[in-house]
């Protein structure tokens, strides 16, 4: 290596090369990211502390420092363990102290060194050696490699704008191969380990080869970068050119009075339409803004399609006011009566709404909630309502919906965003006063995307939905004229706040007589046409219909009845195709041949002949049901054992019933060495609710008295510890369930007397009702009073009890009067004679 100049000044003494005065020990300064190669003068900032102290100590001596590269900049190990063994020795030329204690030094790097050992840690001082540089190849080979290095460096300099003129000039003035390799490596963007590998290369040939390899990779990277830049520039130039050409074309078309954009024409007409109908100024302003953006958008960009879809959806909505409709109440009544049997309360509510609409045309939309078990016709009622009102009908199910965007739409910032179901319904019907059915609203779910039930609050609130804002439109839209109808199987899972915005109409299950009428009027014809058997004139005997209902489809609705009828008609269709004989009139005896063994029979529930059993009436989400409760004494020390998938509320009712019966009976030792096992059959079916309280108490009392209850009774009512019988819900459903299995005597709470009066007489026909306010009254109805009086005379005394009389229905009272009137006439005639 050629000797460097002594920068300390020139005197009369001969020049001494720096290599000959390099010290055997160096203060070591660790540096980050990239090393400083030999032969470079550069400033260096040393932080305050032990490294700044090392600079001061070095200046007191020979002014030489050792620069070594850190292995891991975030590692907190000792510095001696975290530095490489090879570094570069540097001469301190100048020092400037900084305010924070750090020092700024100007250094001149001289040559490579290797750390042999450490003599001090704070500051870091090490014994070093200076390896001699070896050629490793003939002189001509080194010369050829240097030329290759020079050519490739020039190529990189031409393609890389980061190369300054000073770098290019320095590259031309460096003649030594080692210095040339070090300089080229210092201007490349390499990893820390790659820099260090060049520092550690004492053999000149290996060092140049490494630098050539790194240089080749950098040239390829710059070339790829250049290609990407050219592609982007070409695309920008093309878009700019297209933009200017389109602007010129528009200017030419305007001069000639030509408009060629059909979409722009459509949207301009839409804007004129909004202005003509006096739409909200916010809507007009937003449409005008979007139309302006659309006119300047490039059809090849994504924004163009986003704006076009948005304008298309706005244009397809019914912004005009709802039309004035001529309401014919008689026609509406005929439509409702044609499609549905009975359901008078529902029909009356619809007719009342139409009457109000006829008197006050600007009356806003109404929200009805039809609640009832499956198969009672909730969805078909909604369709008939729309037809009766002369409006278009749209249905969508909200059951299982978890994303509130399904109701209120997605924001336009999302890819593939669309408006919600409400706006979509108005787009399809193109009417502002359509009928929208929200099916299965009790099955709304809550997901990570939000709560759809909360999103429905704004939709179903007449005070808010006049300015309903869909997330996609983000504009006020009046949906107050929409007639919303919701359906549900139960009210338990519906939010109280949401239910407050709706008017609840209960649809109870059908009794057998109603099912017979529905079958004859609607169902049979529908099934015959559905299965292609209508032309063969097949009829159904009435007794066979009753047997089909009672034995094969004993549920609240008629969906199961339709399925069983479908099955029967398919069997007949098979016989027709095979040209086998088939009955023209289906009799009761034919049912078992076509449908198999009956699913339901007059089972044990009708006759509770065993002591310790009682028949209760229950309400479920699929209608009313009968509930047989069984009690039995088992060995134990008091208490009660419960089985049959009983819920927490029924567990509490059973404990109350046992405690009350223990207190009621005079025999204190009856339950001391026994445990009551209470079981509710259909053990796999979950059951819960308070209305089985008096039934449980009756079963335990029957067990304690060892006497069965009177046959033919069903009961419902909540029991308290003091023996009071509290009101229950779902009375009509329970009566229908009792009548369905042949029970005609019902014990119910006296507080439900008003609810009983509201139930139609045809449902109550042939049934006796026993209102009670205390359990003692229940016991007197179901057991012999003499037996009860023996148990507890103070409670069951005949003098105190009075008589319990079954409540007669209004129809039965009229029949009683009719029977009494002929006798009076006969007496009068006798007197005349």
- Report the DSSP beta bridge partners of residue 483: 435
Q: How many Å apart are CA 634 and CA 427, to the nearest integer?
A: 68
Nearest to 801 by CA among 817, 784, 824: 784
Q: How many Å apart are CA 795 and CA 792, to the nearest integer?
A: 6
Dihedral of alpha carbons 564, 566, 567, 569, sign: positive
Determine if residue 153 is left, alpha or beta; phi over 0 gives left, psi from -120 to 50 gives alpha, anything else beta. alpha
Which structure tokens are listed for 522?
Answer: 């609607």
Q: How many Å apart are CA 555 and CA 420, to the nearest integer?
A: 36
Which structure tokens are listed for 532?
Answer: 């292609």
Helix (H) or strand (E) holding 120: strand 103-120
Q: How many Å apart are CA 713 and CA 781, to the nearest integer?
A: 9
What is each CA distance from 218 to 37, 116, 224, 229, in whole angstroms? 19, 35, 10, 16
Q: How many Å apart are CA 558 and CA 513, to the nearest integer?
A: 12
Q: How many Å apart are CA 53 and CA 623, to the nearest integer?
A: 91
For the chain, what's the residue count?
833
Residue 272 burial (CB count, 10 A): 10
**Which SS3 state, helix, strand or coil, does residue 737 take?**
helix
**Which SS3 state, helix, strand or coil, does residue 453 take?**
helix
Nearest to 522 by CA among 568, 571, 561: 561
Helix axes 693-705, 648-664, angle to 10 degrees: 40
Q: Is residue 480 annotated as part of the catalytic site, yes or no?
A: no
Question: Where do runs of H (alpha helix) occur along 635-721?
Answer: 648-664, 693-705
Q: Which residue in the list 201, 556, 653, 691 is annotated as catalytic?
A: 691
Which structure tokens are listed for 304?
Answer: 């163009």
Q: What is the DSSP string of 769-826?
A: EEEESBHHHHHHHHS-HHHHHHH-HHHH-HHHH----PBPPHHHHHHHHHHHHHHHHH
Q: Which residue in the list 734, 739, 745, 780 is annotated as catalytic?
A: 734
Q: What is the DSSP string of 536-548?
A: G--EE-HHHHHHH
The answer to whether 194 and 209 are in contact (CB under 8 A) is no
Q: How many Å apart are CA 108 and CA 40, to the nearest integer?
A: 6
Our CA angle for 359, 363, 368, nearest 5°, is 110
Q: Is residue 734 annotated as part of the catalytic site, yes or no?
A: yes
The answer to whether 198 and 207 are in contact (CB under 8 A) is yes
Determine if residue 742 is left, alpha or beta; phi over 0 gives left, psi from -120 to 50 gives alpha, anything else beta. left
Q: What are phi and psi of 591, to 5 degrees?
A: -60, -45
The answer to whether 546 and 592 are in contact (CB under 8 A) is no
- Given strand 613-620, what is the order of strands in its sheet? 640-643, 674-679, 623-635, 613-620, 713-715, 745-749, 768-772
Instruction: Report how many helices (DSSP H) and strands (DSSP E) the chain contains, helices first.
Output: 31, 24
Q: What are phi and psi of 22, to 5 degrees?
A: -65, 130
What is each CA distance from 246 to 242, 243, 266, 299, in whole angstroms? 6, 5, 20, 11
- Report the DSSP beta bridge partners of residue 619: 624
What is each CA distance from 233 to 304, 477, 571, in whole angstroms? 22, 45, 75
The answer to whether 516 and 545 are in contact (CB under 8 A) is yes
The answer to whether 353 and 470 are in contact (CB under 8 A) is no
Catalytic residues: 691, 734
């Amino acid at each position: 290596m050629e000797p460097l100049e002594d920068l300390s000044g020139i005197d009369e003494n001969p020049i001494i090369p720096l290599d000959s005065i390099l010290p055997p020990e160096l203060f070591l300064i660790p540096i980050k990211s990239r090393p400083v190669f030999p032969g470079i003068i550069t400033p260096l900032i040393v932080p305050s502390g032990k490294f700044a102290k090392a600079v001061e100590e070095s200046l007191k001596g020979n002014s030489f420092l050792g620069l070594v590269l850190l292995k891991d900049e975030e590692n907190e190990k000792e510095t001696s363990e975290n530095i490489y063994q090879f570094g570069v020795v540097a001469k301190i030329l100048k020092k400037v102290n900084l305010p924070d204690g750090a020092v700024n030094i100007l250094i001149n790097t001289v040559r490579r060194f290797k750390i042999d050992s450490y003599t001090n840690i704070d500051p870091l001082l090490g014994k070093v050696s200076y390896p001699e540089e070896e050629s490793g190849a003939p002189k001509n080979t080194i010369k050829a490699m240097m030329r290759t290095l020079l050519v490739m460096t020039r190529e990189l300099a031409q393609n890389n704008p980061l190369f300054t003129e000073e770098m290019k000039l320095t590259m031309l003035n460096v003649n030594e191969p080692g210095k040339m390799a070090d300089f080229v490596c210092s201007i490349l963007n390499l990893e820390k380990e790659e820099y260090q590998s060049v520092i550690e290369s004492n053999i000149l040939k290996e060092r140049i080869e490494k630098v050539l390899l790194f240089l080749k990779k950098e040239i390829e990277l710059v070339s790829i970068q250049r290609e990407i830049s050219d592609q982007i520039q070409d695309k920008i130039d093309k878009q700019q050119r297209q933009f200017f050409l389109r602007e010129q074309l528009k200017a030419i078309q305007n001069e000639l009075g030509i408009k060629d954009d059909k979409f722009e024409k459509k949207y301009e007409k839409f804007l004129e339409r909004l202005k003509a109908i006096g739409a909200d100024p916010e809507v007009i302003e937003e449409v005008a803004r979007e139309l302006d953006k659309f006119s300047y958008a490039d059809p090849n960009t994504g924004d163009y399609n986003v704006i076009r879809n948005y304008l298309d959806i706005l244009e397809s909505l019914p912004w005009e006011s709802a039309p004035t409709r001529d309401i014919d109440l008689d026609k509406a009544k005929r439509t409702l009566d044609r499609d549905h049997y009975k359901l008078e309360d529902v029909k009356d509510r619809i007719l009342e709404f139409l009457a109000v609409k006829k008197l006050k045309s600007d009356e806003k939309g109404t929200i009805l909630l039809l609640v009832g078990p499956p198969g009672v016709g909730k969805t078909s009622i909604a369709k008939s309502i729309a037809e009766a009102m002369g409006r278009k009908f749209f249905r969508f199910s909200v059951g299982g919906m978890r994303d509130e965007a399904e109701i209120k739409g997605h924001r336009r910032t999302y890819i593939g965003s669309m408006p919600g179901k409400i706006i979509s319904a108005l787009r399809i019907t193109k009417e502002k006063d359509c009928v929208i059915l929200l099916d299965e609203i009790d099955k709304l779910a809550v997901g990570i995307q939000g709560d759809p039930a909360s999103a429905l609050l704004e939709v179903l609130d007449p005070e808010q939905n006049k300015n309903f804002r869909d997330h996609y439109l983000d504009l006020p839209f009046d949906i107050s004229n929409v007639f919303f109808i919701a359906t549900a199987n139960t009210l338990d899972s519906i939010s109280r706040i949401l239910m407050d915005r709706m008017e609840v109409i209960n649809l109870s299950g059908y009794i057998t007589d109603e099912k017979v009428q529905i079958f004859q009027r609607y169902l049979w014809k529908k099934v015959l046409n559905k299965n292609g058997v209508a032309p063969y004139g097949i009829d159904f005997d009435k007794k066979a219909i009753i047997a089909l209902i009672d034995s094969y489809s004993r549920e609240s609705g008629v969906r199961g009845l339709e399925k069983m009828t479908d099955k029967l008609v398919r069997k007949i269709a098979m016989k027709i195709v095979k040209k086998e004989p088939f009955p023209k009139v289906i009799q009761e005896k034919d049912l078992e041949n076509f449908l198999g063994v009956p699913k339901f029979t007059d089972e044990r529930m009708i006759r509770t002949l065993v002591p310790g059993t009682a028949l209760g009436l229950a309400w479920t989400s699929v209608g009313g049901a009968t509930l047989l409760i069984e009690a039995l004494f088992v060995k134990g020390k008091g208490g009660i054992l419960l089985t049959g998938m009983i819920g927490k509320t029924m567990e509490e009712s059973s404990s109350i019933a046992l405690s009350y019966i223990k207190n009621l009976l005079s025999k204190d030792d009856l339950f001391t060495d026994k445990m009551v096992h209470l079981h509710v059959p259909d053990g796999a079916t979950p059951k819960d609710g308070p209305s089985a309280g008096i039934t449980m108490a009756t079963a335990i009392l029957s067990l304690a008295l060892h006497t069965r209850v009177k046959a033919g009774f069903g009961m419902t009512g909540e029991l308290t510890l003091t023996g009071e019988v509290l009101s229950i819900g779902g009375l009509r459903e329970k009566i229908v369930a009792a009548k369905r299995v042949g029970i005609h005597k019902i014990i119910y709470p006296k507080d439900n007397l008003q609810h009983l009066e509201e139930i139609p007489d045809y449902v109550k026909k042939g049934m006796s009702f026993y209102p009670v306010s205390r359990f003692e009254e229940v016991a007197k109805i179901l057991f012999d009073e003499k037996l009860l009086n023996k148990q507890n005379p103070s409670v069951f005394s005949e003098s105190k009890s009075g008589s319990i009389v079954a409540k007669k229905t209004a129809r039965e009272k009229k029949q009683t009067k009719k029977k009494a009137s002929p006798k009076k006439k006969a007496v009068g005639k006798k007197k005349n004679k």
